[in-house]
Amino acid sequence: MRDIYDYIGVFRGVMAHNDADQIVARLEAYKWQEHKWGEKADDPGGGISYKDDVTHNHDTEFSEAPVETSEKAIIKAAINKALTRYAQKWPLSNPTAYSPVSMHKYDANTMMKPHVDHIHTLFDGKIRGIPILSIVGLLNGPDEFQGGQFVFNDEKDPKLEKGDVLIFPSNFIYKHKVQLVTSGTRYSYVTWAF
């Protein structure tokens, strides 16, 4: 290992572009919820909204997302393919499960503020574990939106493209953000392996 970025995996084209386009077409008409930070983010009266922070929208329950069963299978297949490739490169990181998938939508003038993914709110008693890997899939590409780069520690941009899956350790070393989308709409999904 030379530096922390050696543990970041970008897996190109694990989802076909036409499959990603099909999912985005269905998501475009979906009624999205504003993202909130905090332990009660799924509670309409809970969570934290930052007045000075422009944030993105998300769907808290993948099971409720307006995608067909076959489209959910496409997303899960992309995640599984990327996880298999990641485990081949870094064999000690062999997770046994991952959290429910959350869909994300970044309209123009929205972003994700810098944060780390050591998320404990995923584990409510029904699911037990500690997230060890963060998994982000991009459903549309830089030709469909401007800005919106995924950046680590204000310096490392993995340059994601449509159909790519990004995997990295879910700990304090990997602070990341999604920069401001200046035009268009950025669609992605995220889950955490444990």
Q: Residue 145: which CATH number?
A: 2.60.120.620
Mean pLDDT per segment of 10 residues, for the chain of length 194 residues? 89 96 88 63 41 49 63 93 92 78 89 85 70 94 94 95 97 94 94 90
Which range of residues forms the domain containing residue 182?
A: 8-29+53-193
Question: Can you name the residues that pair with 191 across neighbouring β-strands?
Answer: 135
Residue 186: per-residue pLDDT: 95
Report yes or no on 166 lying in a domain: yes
- Whether the model clears a pTM of 0.75, i.e. scores above it, the answer is yes
Contacts of 62 (CB under 8 A, 6+ apart): 72, 75, 100, 101, 102, 103, 189
- Model confidence over 48-77: pLDDT tens digits? 333 334 455 655 445 556 667 888 899 999
Asked whether residue 66 is domain-assigned, the answer is: yes
Q: Establish if 43 belongs to a structural domain.
A: no
Determine, yes or no, domain membership for 45.
Answer: no
Tell me whether residue 38 is in a domain: no
- In this predicted model, what pLDDT tens digit does every residue of 44-54 receive, in sequence order? 444 333 333 44
Q: With respect to residue 70, please indicate whether it lies within any of the assigned structural domains.
A: yes
Residue 174 placed within a domain: yes
Q: How many domains does the chain have?
A: 1
CA distance 133 to 169: 4
Determine the pLDDT at residue 56: 56
- Within-domain flag for 47: no
